[in-house]
Structure 1
Amino acid sequence: MNTQVNGTIAVFGATGQQGGAVVDALLDRGARVRALVRDPESGRAQALAARGVELAAIRIDDPASLADALATVEAFHFMTPEANSLDEVEAEIRVGTALVDAAVAAHVPHVVFNSVFGADQETGVPHHDSKHWIEEHLGKSGLRATMVRPAAFMEGFASVMAPSLEHGKIVLRLPLAEDVAVKMISVRDIGRIAAAVLLDTADAPGGAIDLVADELTGPQIAAAFGARAGLPARYEALPLTVLPSELDRAMFRQFAQAAEHPADLAVVRAIEPATLDLAEWIRAIGWTVPTNAVAP
């Protein structure tokens, strides 16, 4: 393991969910953080500044502004905007490529890319393969690089994949067969593990870490919410056709394929022993029974 980093760490995407979690974890550890932002006057950027984060204004189409923002930093964490269309996939690749090239120009000692589970190979999922191509570009850059590859976010179960209360039962519906084990991790823990890698307090053998904190089937996920509610629970598998786009359908097909390859959960807990499993995350967020119940 290397000597812990004491200099400034740059973060691109600091005003977003995952990048914000990385900033939170770095600040908790007393690190100096520089956020690369497009609009330093935005509310989210100013909120970071109020917490002691240095702001560096950048333009993705201006290589000089990117290289200047990365000057003198000891490490750089970046993620790329999630793509929701094929045009956005191409834009994501352009952003990732520009950031890698800027890190090369600025001679950044260590770059950590917030990728996605399975991005070590092409999957046929366009907005996952975009990260694979960025990983390849980073790997050819000559930089010391680490890929952190999160699985599905537990936070999805508090929003788009949230269970419902129907006739006195907790009901979870997903477009996955009931024997498919979903790999997952909380956004908080993505930030904590990335921070440990950036600060060189954690090793990443082979230059990459798959971030998986729990691995549960649909019925097991439903049961975890039911246990929290003190109510019976059931799971219903839906067809892929319920999803609104081909990108979404491709992603859920990839979830099913990924289930065939068990994850080594011990790798993540060796870095962050307090990593949450799903039941712990449900308690940590204070999840309560939905109020939009279907009456008995």
Structure 2
Amino acid sequence: MSAQTNGTIAVFGATGRQGGAVVDALLDREARVRALVRDPRSDRAQALAARGVELAAVRADDPASLAAALTAVAGFSFMTPEANSLEEVEAEIRIGTALVDAAVEAGVPHTVFNSVFGADRETGVPHHDSKHWIEERLRGSGLRATMVRASAFMENFATVMAPTLEQGRIVLRLPLPEDVALKMISIRDIGRIAAALLLGTAEAPGGAVELVGDELTGPRIAAAFGARAGLPARYEALPLSVLPSDLDRAMFRQFAEATENPSDIAVVRAIEPATLDLAGWIRATGWTAPTT
């Protein structure tokens, strides 16, 4: 294991969910953080500044601003914008490429890229393959780089994948066959694992780690929420056609195929021993059954 890193850690995407979790974890460890932001005057950027985070104004289409913001940092964490269309996928690749090139120019000692599960290969999912291509750019850059590849977010069970309460029963519906185990991780733990790698308190074997905190089939996920609510639970598998876009359908197809690839949760917990399983996430978030 490497010696603990001192110095400023730069974070691109600090005002978003994953980047915000990285900032939280770094500040919890009393690290110095520099957030690379488009608008330092925005409410989210100012909220970071109020917590002691240094702000650096950057533009993804301005290489000089990126390289300047990365000057003399001890580490760099970045994630690319979430893509919801093929045009946004192309923009994601451009931004990722610009960030890698800026890290090279600035001579960043260690870069951690928040990627996606399975990005070690092309999958046919456009907004996952974009991260594969960025990983390839990192590998060819000469930088010391670590890939943290997130699986499905547990937080989605509080929003787009939230269970419902119907006739006294918890009901979970997903476009996933009932015999397929969904790999998942909490966003909190993505941040904690990235921070540990950036600060040198842990290392990822082979320079990459697949982030899985739990792996459960739909019926077992429903049962976990039912147990918390003290109610019976039911799972219903939906067809992919319920999803609104081709990208979403491709992603859930990949979720189903990902069950063929083994998860090594022990590696994840070696980096962050307190990594949450789904039941732990349900407890930690204080989830309660919906009222209707």
Using the size of structure 2 for normalisation, the TM-score is: 0.99
**Deviation, structure 1 residue 2:** 1.1
What is the root-mean-square deviation of aligned Cα atoms in Å?
A: 0.5
The residue that corresponds to 2:15 in the other structure is: 15
Number of residue-to-residue matches in the alignment: 292
User: In the alignment, residue 213 of structure 1 is paired with which amino acid?
Assistant: G
Q: Whole-Å Cα distance in 2 between the matches of residues 32 and 9 of structure 1?
A: 6
Provide, for residues 239-281 of structure 1, a one-character-per-residue CA deviation record: whole Å limited to 9, x for no partner: 0000000000000000000011220110111111111100010
Matched, 1:121 2:154: no
Counterparts of 1:259 and 1:284, CA distance in 2: 26
**Equivalent residue, structure 2, for 1:228:** 228
Equivalence for 1:151: 151
2:169 equivalent in structure 1: 169
1:155 alignment partner, SS class: helix
Q: How many angstroms apart in 1 are the aligned matches of 2:261 and 2:204?
A: 20
One-letter identity of the residue aligned with 1:92: E
Question: Following the alignment from structure 1 to structure 2, what is the Cα–Cα distance between the partners of residues 205 and 270?
Answer: 11
Q: Which amino acid is 1:171 matched to? A: V
Q: How far apart in 2 are the matches of 1:24 and 1:263? A: 26
Which residues of structure 1 form unaligned runs of 5+?
none
2:5 is matched with: 5
SS at match of 2:262: coil
Q: Which amino acid aligns with 2:35?
A: A
The code of the aligned residue for 1:212 comes to V
Instruction: Tell me the distance in 2 between the aligned counterparts of 1:86 and 1:285.
Output: 34
1:250 aligns with 2:247: no
What residue number does 1:49 align with? Answer: 49
Distance, in Å, in 2 between the alignment partners of 1:203 and 1:13 is: 22
Aligned equivalent of 1:277: 277
Distance apart, 1:233 and its partner CA: 0.2
After the TM superposition, which residues 174-193 of structure 1 pair with which residues of structure 2 at under 5 Å, given as runs?
174-193=174-193
CA distance in 2, matches of 1:113, 1:271: 16
Q: Write the deviation string for residues 109-130 of structure 1: whole angstroms up to 9, x where unpaired.
A: 0010000000000000000000
Query: In the aligned structure 1, how far is the partner of 2:235 from the partner of 2:13?
Result: 35
Distance 1:111 1:274 in 2: 24
Residue 63 of structure 1 is matched in structure 2 by 63
User: Matched residues in 2 for 1:118 and 1:12: separation?
Assistant: 22
SS at the partner of 2:116?
coil
Aligned residue for 2:288, secondary structure, equals coil
Tell me, in whole angstroms, the C-alpha distance in 1 between the residues paired with 2:106 and 2:262: 38
SS at 1:115 equivalent: strand
Tell me what 1:160 maps to: 160
Distance 1:133 1:262 in 2: 23
Q: Helix, strand or coil for the counterpart of 2:76?
A: strand
Q: 1:105 is matched by which residue type in structure 2?
A: E
Q: Which runs of 5+ in 2 are unaligned?
A: none
Whole-angstrom distance in 2 between the partners of 1:205 and 1:278: 25
Partner of 2:93: 93
The match for 1:264 is 264
Letter aligned with residue 209 of structure 1: V
The TM-score, its normalising length taken from structure 1, stands at: 0.98
Q: Aligned letter for 2:281?
A: W
The whole-number CA distance in structure 2 between the counterparts of 1:267 and 1:190 is 13
| SS across alignment from 2:192 | helix
- Which residue identity does 2:88 align to in structure 1? E
Partner SS for 1:215: strand
Aligned: 1:109 with 2:109: yes
